[in-house]
Amino acid sequence: MTTEHLVLNPATEEVVATVPAATPADVDAAVTRAAEAQRGWAAAAPADRARLLRRFATVVDEHVEELARLEVREAGHTLGNARWEAGNVRDLLDYAAGGVERLNGRQIPVPGGLDVTLLEPLGVIGVIAPWNFPMPIAAWGTAPALAAGNAVILKPAETTPLTALRLAGLALEAGLPEGLFQVLPGEGAVAGNALVEHPGVAKIVFTGSTRVGKRIMATCADRVKRVTLELGGKSPNIVFADADIEAAAAAAPLSFLDNAGQDCCARTRILVQRGAYDRFLELLTPAIEEIVVGDPSDEKTQMGPLISRVQLERVRSYVPEDAAGIRGKAPEGPGFWFPPTVLTGLPPDAPAAVEEVFGPVAVVLPFDDEEDAVRLANATEYGLSGSIWTRDVGRALRVSGAVRAGNLSVNSHSSVRYWTPFGGYKQSGLGRELGPDALTAFTETKNVFISTEA
């Protein structure tokens, strides 16, 4: 029996929409449709597939504002962020389309004949997207998978299905074949699990918690099913005393407050060399206090609400009422609001310092020297991203090599570009997304030897 799920506006707690939740039978039917559509899509000329993906990008571009406003209502993202996210879907589709006709195999020199490799699509891909960045992360898996000749079934998070459903409609409007890109809203334990277990799904792309990612990986291992996992993070922001302290302090707030801290790349562990520690906090305090938290549809707003009451209570549990630090302001009344918060004086192994809070909370920890900074930076189970602030190029290179994380920035906080690979070390995930090799992650390599001696 099909159930329904309420989609709430996290800024007001009002019901935005009621969406049917997919059942295992719905998943099975979707896989059948996808497999049929995929065969025709893979047989199409590469130029035709590229042309349709570019048309899809064009249609998304024509609806950027609509998609952004929908994201504001269902996810509480600031309007500026939501516009960027919709634009990122457009850009990623364009970028992936450019790879369709460049998905090349190799010719390998061998004696007695010609040896070539072919890159063939896997088939049906299951993409399980999170609620923190519903549009772009859905596109991270969907765009390159389609470009490589696969079909995609996207299961959005229960709280944020609306932009995904709209993107599926825009795909049809752009002319993509029926069944090639389907969206199945539903509970993770029901629709998501059915997608992971289905024998007709060749690969799962999952973004979410490490706990759930481990379960998905175990299920896929039992079926020898491919998997890409983008999981948790507890990223360091390392500030050396020789850095531009004013620039580092000015950039620090939005490195962990963007999307209300609901970002696996959030720089929530601010490590500051002792010689600069007091000055850094002196500059950070007004920067935190001045962050504008409020109505995400207001152009001036810099930070919106958390996604749900469950997430709000989780974040609260990490912040003792008497904890020292810096606190900003947040609205009172309806909505899942939590103020920007920086904690000081905590031990390096405190839960807020090593666990993923996934909210607008950062911890500032002092360090002595380069070796101490690297030790603290690596003292978590995660390894997704991080930042290094220094004027010393040699130090930037040494520390970049020593920090166990997949994505690092020097004198900036940039982590994700669709042109470059993204993924984590340790329990932050498995595999890489985006970048020039994204399409190959959705292919099977076939080797063909042709004898010239017959």
Residues annotated as catalytic are: 230, 264
DSSP bridge pairs for 422: 433
Q: Which of 28, 29, 20 is nearest to 1 (CA)?
A: 20
> CB neighbours of 411 closer than 8 A, spacing ≥ 6?
243, 244, 247, 248, 387, 388, 389, 390, 396
Cα–Cα distance for residue pair 282/249, rounded to 1 Å: 9
Contact status, residue 227 vs residue 195, Cβ threshold 8 Å: no
Nearest to 144 by CA among 449, 437, 447: 437
- Give the H/E segment covering residue 370: helix 370-377
Tell me how far the alpha carbon of residue 350 is from its chain's centroid.
26
Q: How many CB atoms lie within 10 A of CB 118?
A: 14
Give 109: exposed, middle or buried? Use CB within 10 Å, 0-12, 13-18, 19+: exposed
Which of 141, 183, 229, 162 lies closest to 427 in space, CA to CA? 229
386: left (phi over 0), alpha (psi -120 to 50) or beta: left
**Cα separations (Å) of 126 from 94, 147, 201, 293, 408?**
21, 15, 6, 36, 29
Determine phi and psi for 346, rounding to 5 degrees. Answer: -85, 150
What six digits make up the tokens of 429?
Answer: 């995930």
Nearest C-alpha neighbor of 414 from the set 150, 288, 235: 235
Take residue 253 and report the two structure tokens written for it. Answer: 């707030």
Q: What are phi and psi of 353, to 5 degrees?
A: -90, -20
- What phi and psi values does residue 20 have, to the nearest 5 degrees? -60, 145
Q: How far apart are CA 362 and CA 321, in angstroms?
A: 15
How many residues are given for the chain?
A: 454
Q: Report the C-alpha gap between 97 and 11 in whole angstroms.
A: 36
